[in-house]
Structure 1
Amino acid sequence: MKNLNVSQSKLEKVLGPAAGWLNENRFITALSQGFMGILPVTLGVAIIAILINFPIDAWKALLTQVGLYAVGQEFISTTLSLLAVYVVGSIGYNFAKNDGKNGMIGSILSLATFITLIPLDVVSIKEAPVSVIRISYLGSDGFFVAMLCGLLIPYVYCKLTDLKLVLKLPDSVPPMVSKSLAPTFTSMIIFTGVFFIKYFFKSTSFGDVFTMVTTVIAKPIMQFGATPISLIVVFTLINLFWFFGIHPNAVLSCYMPVLIATSIANQSAYAAGNAMPYITFALVGSVVQIGGAGNTLGLCIATLFAKSEKYKALRKLVIPANIFNINEPVIFGFPIVMNPIYFIPMVLTPIASGLITIFMLNIVPVTLNPFASLATMPWVTPIFVVASLQGGLAFLLIFIICVLAHFLIYLPFFKIDDANAYRLELENQETIDANSIKA
């Protein structure tokens, strides 16, 4: 216990400043808020995406026969497959707003520059040339460029505004008009810069910014970050941070671009009828955090074997709450945070369930529905329901095995905690009885 406390103190000194920097960094903050800002789209379309792509052939045949399947796929293509468009505006808005500037201007400038960077293709329709934009640039192929535009464009806008490069109009001009025209000089500078950036990359072997970002930035990030093992490592770090009371968002916000990019890539490939590139990654992502950070559903189930009155009472609260992904009662009620007893299971559970899933997927065939996940459904949806919709009964079986593994990992440590609580209850009862006899 003494060695664990020493290690805990050292880790706190390392993790504390790092987490503080992440939480205070305005680029990371804007990213995190920007991703949350697109939830109305992902959640709003979730039920349609799930029902249209429900993994039952007879159901799909019925929808196709009545024409609903084709309409549903078009609906998804103009919403979930275009998340780069939504996220660039959302990030730009939050960055500018957090800097005390006009959030709407930041959003519009980010979106406009993103679209101007997209290369146009010329195709022939009925023997007439038509300029078109590939939908993939507005989704999976443009996601990293969208993030860069959402961060860099409002950053430049804020810096130029601080330099007073604004158009000042007489007080007689209505405020609404004055505010709209104020960033005129700033906008001219930004669009001129973006124009020459597009010209520069058109003159290179890349041909456009999107190809350059994909080749130089996105591909290396996806190769290292979008693997099941990387996913396990990240969520192990999330649990490690959470143990020391540092909110998981400190790590998750940095990793969110990879999670969203893989999700969009799977959805786009599925909608196009192609093989999904990140099936294992998506399924492993559903088991490395069951019940919330710390994989606490397994611990909640362990409370069914409690002897102490403390945990007999707590299990009535934590089990129902955890099934609906409400994690705080167990995290702070036991507590788990800063509790040395639960350090080992918190670190081990994502590793165990991640490796189990990778192994089981080689044995049990699972058909992935990329539109079903906690990211695209209300966050209180029971995780068992999400698992069933995401991969059918085959994945539900794997999911149950992972929960069982979490339970078995937590059980011996919970018994230690429960035994300590039970002993204290007996000692308190003995003290009460002794005092009553004296009285």
Structure 2
Amino acid sequence: MPSPAPSSPLLTAFHDSYHELVRFVARRTGPQSARDLVHDAWIRLAERQRSEGRRPEAPSDERSTPSPQNIAPRAYLYTVADHIAIDHLRRGQRTAQRFDSSGKEDGPAFAASPDVADTHTYRQALAEVENALQQLPARCRDIFLADRIDGASHAELALRHGVSVKTVEREVMRAMDGVEAALHRWRGETAAPRTGRRRALSSLLGLAGLGVSSSALWLGWRQWVPQYQLQLATAKRRLLRQPLPDGSTLTLDADSRAELRYYAARRQVQLLAGSAFFAVARDTERPFTVEASDVQVTVLGTRFEVALEGDAVLVAVDTGRVRVRDGSGGVQTLLAGQMLRLPAGQSAQPQAITAVAPWRDGWLDFQNTPLAEVVERLARYSPHPLRVEADAATLPVLGRVHTTAVSGWLQLLARTLPVSVQPEEAEGGISTLVIRRRS
């Protein structure tokens, strides 16, 4: 909610009447546009006051609006809000008539819906806006998003960041300048120096003719632009436990990589390499989704592991339940104590599992696992590079290995399998342990 300048009774009245003004405009235009229109009214009043050095007056138009000196501030505000709402409805009606293909001049107006091309246009514009906001200082960006998307009041934001309300106002205006400049660049224009109020985002988007108001931008923002994002990576023999802003935690295995993006309506993780264990805080309004290769795992709140193992994806559930969509398009529900190992593009049946992500406690378990996959897994904890020759790759391994004793376990491997483990010098003097089948 905009906060008033202390020296202006009119803006003070605006602050006190903000929520009532939003409801007043919403009854005329609908809830989607009301907040933006009221914010627009505030910007007109505040900028007019700054530019003229006196109380704000109504913007000139074809209607006659009383001067604020001759009318009570609250009544004046409602008059301005009413005029802005009427202008918004008139623009919408003219747009509908312009694009009415019925051929009837006096037929009913309708609101055109954006098609696929328009949606693509939104995404391009939003990408420009997102890039512009990433260039802003963190405080400015956080204040702007909280103001525009969450509707937080300027007084609340000032308290949250330990600054004055005036500073919050300046940060919002600074971010808006960045948004406008980004959209000008997207249109191939050079933004002119500011001489008056900000242009409507819909006009900068060039989509006003399709009935798209600035609220469409912010609604799209909530769907397409992450509010929080993070890239994580671990080195060999190193684990990482990462707290997340919603109260969840992610534990990343050694030599693993993941990318996180939190949106207003969903939480999304892309596992790029290795293994990860998730303890997800329950949020029924924001599902938590993990994507690994061609597998998608969706939960509301639970504890589970997702791992990339060669060309397969492992999903194992510790508590709760998860929904798994495999590469063939099939969907299954996995319960606590169950796991799926899904080869690329295939389905599989759930299996029982006794321990989920034992690597968190320093153990790696193998149940008749091909030696090539075992070596790939052990390589995350080995101080030396490992290589298994093709003639030994399919030999089955049954056993348990501690992550701090990988080299010793490999040296004893020849006692249980018909293989030899020999160091082999490579370029740079780095010794590689090579596993090959004994003849």
Same fold per TM (> 0.5)?
no
Which structure carries more strand by proportion? 2
Q: Structure 2 length normalisation: TM-score?
A: 0.29
Higher Cα radius of gyration: 2
Which structure carries more helix by proportion? 1
Q: Structure 1 length normalisation: TM-score?
A: 0.29
